Structure 1
Amino acid sequence: MATQKLYAGVKLREIRGRLGLTQKAFADKLSVSLPYLNQMENNHRPVSAAVVLALAQEFGLDVTELTVGESERLVTDMREALADPVFTTPTPAVADLRLAASNAPALARAFLDLHRAYRQTHERLASLDEALGREDASLRPSAWEEVRDFFHYCDNYLDAMDRAAEHFAASAINGKTVESAAQDLLRRSGISLHYSDKAPLRHYDPHARRLDISARASGPSQRFQLLHQVALLTQNDLLEATLDLARFSTPEARDIAKIGLANYFAGAALLPYRAFLAAAQEVRHDLERLADIFGASIEQVGHRLSTLQRPGAKGIPFFFVRVDQAGTITKRHSSTRLQFARFGGACPLWNVHRAFEAPGQFLRQLAETPDGVRYLCLARDVSKPAGAFLAPVRRYAIGLGCEVQHAAQMVYADGLDLKGRFEPIGISCRICERTNCHQRSVPPLEGRLRINPNARDILPYEIA
């Protein structure tokens, strides 16, 4: 496979701006000419190996910043959007999409916003209840999707929030746990804490200064909800400043994002960055041992592993996903080159779907995506009982994985033949390039079809 050239002009300009350097000063530091730097910053030339080395040596830059991040996510999202049947012209080549994502990321995001608005309009018109006879049926952006994309494009790592949570966790000294530190903070603030069988998962009454948490929830859930409320009470200025910078389009999106940011703080306080990273490396990313060490759930641990992207102290780049029994993706975060479909479900060949068939077990899979990248994938079911007879049980499956070159750092790679067979998986049938997939649900938009009425194989057509 040919080595892909690295075009990272937007990222170079961002790094230079962060350092407060002029183009000439930056070029001098990198030992290149001013015209050469200008060409790299405008993606007329790829970033050379010598420049990558100079960035690492001169500025201590984590060079993975140049290769993993918004650009690949934009390419994947644009490919999926362009696979929509509304586009009748041939889909642009991946190389062209990469140039668009690198040179004009704002334009790429605007295109995705436009496509999302089109889909929302189409879905509303398909529903008579929404399209006919209602005065309030005007198009509104989906607040949920807007917030999801906010976390998606910041690598699911928020440095200021993460460090604030780590600072709070550091206050749990002299044998105290983070939970007891949170309880002490509530007492000092004059807030009473109650665990009740009749309470919802969490309810705070600001007038009575009373916090109720469900006694039927699991220990990790109780701790998480306690820390969520601590975030709302002690980090409001930071939450609001982050929301101001995000510039959400609706009050609903801003409110949903505030919950997401408080959740981020809670997870980062329960699993503080440096302590959690060190423990993860020591136990070789054994999720069960990490859950036991930190008093967290398997899902909380898996999610946290996907956020360990602090510059200068990065962990293994993981992807994390949660799906329901219908195959719908309800959470998705990726620090790897693997990106998830924005609409619909995940590839049916992925082991995360089989987790429901093996409750309580970790399933391992060596998988390869159409771009030739190989991954070690884990999957496990997660049940969330409501704590009473006949109460509904929420069931999900979580998936966690990394590129195979990191697999030796994971206990789950033990006993696997990392040079053996890798199962082919994809992202979405509409943009998957595979021509011989027995689980394909719809034809790929990028391929021509050959249809022979006198012959039938697994699929009723062949992909040229």
Structure 2
Amino acid sequence: MLGAKIRRLRKGRGLAQMRLAEMLGISASYLNMIEHNDRPLTVPLLLKLSEHLDVDLQAFSEGEEARLKRDLQEVFSEPLFTDLQPSALELDDLVNNGPEFCQGFLRLYRANRSAREDMDALNDRIASSPYLLASSHEVRTLLTSVRSFSEILHDNVDLAVEERQQFLSIVVEGAEKLTHQVVELLAFVTGDGMQGLMGNRASADEVADFAETQDDFFDDLDRRAEELREELGLGAQGLYPALISYLTDPLGIDVVPYADGQDAPVTDGDGAILSLQEGLAPEDIRFVLAREIIRHAAALEIETQIEVAGLGSDTVRRLCHDYLVDYGAAALLMPYRAFLARAQRERYDIEQLGRAFEVSREQVCQRLTSLRRPGDEGARFHFLRIDRAGNISQRVSGSGLPIPRFGGICPRWNIHAVHGHEGLMNTQILNLVDGSNYFCIAFASRVSGLRHGQPETHHALAIGCRLEAAHQLIYADGLDLANSDVFTPGGITCQLCEREDCLQRAFPSLVLIGQQGDEGATPSA
């Protein structure tokens, strides 16, 4: 599997096969066999390749290929591709020999999907908008009036001058009102009235891809956050006063408690005032303050990462900036070395870590996924967050668990069982069709509205690791991790699942269809 990657790296550096073979101390024919996966790649050769090609050893991992293959499998599970089902071997060849083509295809698919979703949202908006309904009714009424009086003028040529002038005035007035109404309607549809309707899903996916290629870890930003944490000088005053003090001096930012009518933190044009909404939870207030510190004091590190990402549009760069600011804020509140040491000592007890670092359980989980510093790593975690409708709003596949991008997740995952049970920490050993097993912890969160009449926000969250690492977690204590009878057989999505006996199947398995013809093409009872 690594042969094609070595060939791409060699060609990218303008090296002939014979020249690289000389540098490695092997024959050109042997290197040719390695590049075609006909010979294994030994550790000494891998180290030499890393040195002579000037790449990190991480570049030789198969994580990127596995992610591309997984994403392609998801795409081809869509109804659009029902009659096009490439085999696993064909996907392997495509991913290994044409990764840029695969990335381009996925980008095109996501843009197409985003456009279709935008059109659906636009249709819903047009059909349900009170303003559009009233405005379209007004336009029709004015059109009817102008047409009626114009017909009177046309059909009655013998009208008296005074009557004709009166009808002409009505037509002119109606036409002016109609013009004004149409201009307002066009401004609404093309301007702020529709702002935010056309979604940024494709842009968000591009940022997520970048984060995943970086293993959701940004060492320069982590180290800058550790420096800033030292500069805060907590002492006996505590975290919140230290954050306020640092914002005031040296950053020169005043924090004020409330701006009437606002629903989110607001900064003025120069960033000299940070206005916070009343009623925010203490951990959310601290996160907002940390974001503001990072936004100013780690601007160089953030901009450097954005340049490394090579992102295209301004929208994607803005989303990436927001993501990195959030990452830096978490790193400031939970500095790498201190947080990792405490996490290992507490055996990844989420509640205890939340209390120790004055953050929420969700913030703890997201931080746990980013402990990837070489030589000082934590357990590898996946993390996801869904709403009550099953929409995925956060996803990190750090443990290797394939979390779908384009469809709903398997209903057997325990994340679905915790909605409405905020005090419950639900554990599960999930067994996938390929034989891999994951230890999963799920819990629910509920955020009340900030004022009367505002709806509550409900999410279900899950974090987990490979079963082999579960003994490191306090949540596995007392469980028989070797007893496969307690494992939950599950899948990723229905279309990619080979389990024939699942009573919760919502869609046909395209894998089974490909293997059995039409058998298994309908959902189980």
State TM-score, norm by structure 1.
0.84
Cα deviation for residue 294 of structure 1 reads 0.8
1:389-412: per-residue Cα shift (whole Å, max 9, x none)?
443211101100100110111111
Q: Deviations over 1:334-390 (max 9, x none)?
A: 112212111232211000010114321110001111211101000000112234444
- Contact 2:2–2:62 (CA<8 Å) still a contact in 1? no
Residue aligning to 1:3: none
The 8 Å contact of residues 259 and 275 in structure 2, kept in 1 or not, is answered as no
Closer, same or farther: CA 174–14 of 1 in aligned 2, 3 Å:
farther
Equivalent position of 2:507 in the other structure: 442
Mapped partners of 2:453, 2:120: distance in 1: 36
String of CA shifts for 1:315-344, please: whole Å, max 9, x gaps: 111100001011111000111221211123
1:242 to 287, 297, 305: 305
1:73 aligns with 2:67: yes
Aligned residue for 2:136?
none
2:388 corresponding residue in structure 1: 325
Unpaired stretches in structure 2, ≥5 consecutive residues: 127-184
Matched, 1:167 2:238: no
Deviations 1:280-326 (A, max 9, x none): 11111111111111111100011111111122322111100001011
Q: Is residue 375 from structure 1 mapped to residue 442 from structure 2 by the alignment? A: no
Letter paired with 1:182:
L
1:96 equivalent to 2:161? Answer no
Out of 114, 124, 134, the position equivalent to 1:120 is 114
Is the 1:62–1:312 Cα contact (8 Å) retained in structure 2?
no
Q: CA distance change for structure 1 residues 96 and 387 in 2, over 3 Å: closer, same or farther?
A: same
For residue 174 of structure 1, report the CA deviation from its aligned partner.
Answer: 6.1
In 2 relative to 1, CA 370–11 (structure 1 residues): closer, same or farther, beyond 3 Å? Answer: farther
Structure 1 segment 385-464 matched on structure 2, within 5 A: 385-420=448-483, 421=485, 422-448=487-513, 459=524
Note if 1:107 corresponds to 2:169: no
Q: 1:259 to 1:33 in 2, by over 3 A?
A: same
Q: 1:458 deviation in Å?
A: 7.5
Hey, what does 1:7 align to over in structure 2? Answer: 2
Cα distance in 1 for partners of 2:278, 2:118 equals 41
Distance 1:35 1:47, change over 3 A: same
Are residue 315 (structure 1) and residue 378 (structure 2) matched? Answer: yes
Q: Classify 1:122/1:179 alpha carbon distance in 2 versus 1 (closer, same or farther; 3 Å).
A: same
The question of whether the paired residues in 2 share the 8 Å contact of 1:305 and 1:318 is answered with yes
| Residue pair 1:328, 1:346 contacting (<8 A) in 2 also | no
TM alignment of 1:121-160, pairs within 5 A: 121-123=115-117, 129=123, 142-160=202-220
* Partner-residue secondary structure (3-state), 1:402: strand
Per the alignment, do residues 259 and 8 of structure 1 end up closer, same or farther by CA in structure 2, a change over 3 Å counting?
Answer: farther
CA RMSD after TM alignment: 3.8
Quick one: which amino acid aligns to residue 98 of structure 1?
D
Structure 1 CA distance, aligned partners of 2:328 and 2:443?
Answer: 25
CA contact (8 A) 1:327 1:345 kept: yes
Structure 1 residues 451 and 88: CA distance shift in structure 2, 3 A: closer
**Retained in 2: the 8 A contact 1:171–1:181?**
no
Q: Deviations over 1:246-269 (max 9, x none)?
A: 333322222222111111110111
CA distance in 1, matches of 2:109, 2:57: 32
Assess if the C-alpha contact under 8 Å between 2:107 and 2:202 holds in 1. no
| Distance in 1, Cα, partners of 2:387 & 2:245 | 37
1:32-83 deviations in Å (ceiling 9; x for gaps): 5555445445655443466568899999x99777446322111110001112
Q: Is the 8 A contact 2:431 2:490 kept in 1?
A: yes
Give aligned pairs, total.
450
| Residue deviations 1:170-194 (CA, integer Å, cap 9, x gap) | 3234626554443233222322112
**Separation (CA, whole Å) in 1 of partners of 2:241 and 2:5:** 45
- The answer to whether the 8 A contact 2:75-2:406 is kept is no
Q: Which residue of 2 aligns with 1:273?
A: 336
Distance 1:322 1:141 in 2: 16
Instruction: Find the aligned partners of 2:463 and 2:271 in 1 and give their Cα distance.
Output: 42
Cα pair 1:179 1:227 within 8 Å, conserved: no
Change in Cα spacing, 1:144 to 1:208, as seen in structure 2 (3 Å) is closer
Report if the CA contact (8 A) 1:323-1:329 is conserved. yes
Structure with more relative contact order (C-alpha pairs < 8 Å, separation 6 or more): 1
Between stretches 170-179 and 296-305, larger displacement belongs to 170-179
Identical residues among aligned pairs (%):
32
Indicate yes or no: 2:359 matched with 1:296: yes
Residue 111 of structure 2 aligns with an amino acid whose one-letter code is A
**Residue of structure 1 equivalent to 2:252:** 190
Mapped contact 1:7–1:45 kept (Cα < 8 A): no
Q: Is the 8 A contact 1:322 1:398 kept in 2?
A: yes
Conservation of the 8 A alpha-carbon contact between 1:85 and 1:445: no
Are the aligned partners of 2:280 and 2:450 in contact in 1 as well (CA < 8 Å)? yes
Matches of 1:345 and 1:417, distance apart in 2 = 30
Name the amino acid aligned to 2:476. Answer: A
User: Which entry has the higher C-alpha Rg, 1 or 2?
Assistant: 2
CA shift in 2, pair 1:16/1:335, >3 Å: farther
Q: 1:123 to 1:354 in 2, by over 3 A?
A: same
The structure in which a higher percent of residues are helix is 2
SS at match of 2:276: strand
> Structure 1's 9 and 187: CA in aligned 2 closer, same or farther, altered over 3 A?
same
Counterpart pick for 1:338 among 374, 393, 401: 401
Distance 1:17 1:77, change over 3 A: same
Cα distance 1:350–1:307, how it changes in 2: closer, same or farther (>3 A)? same
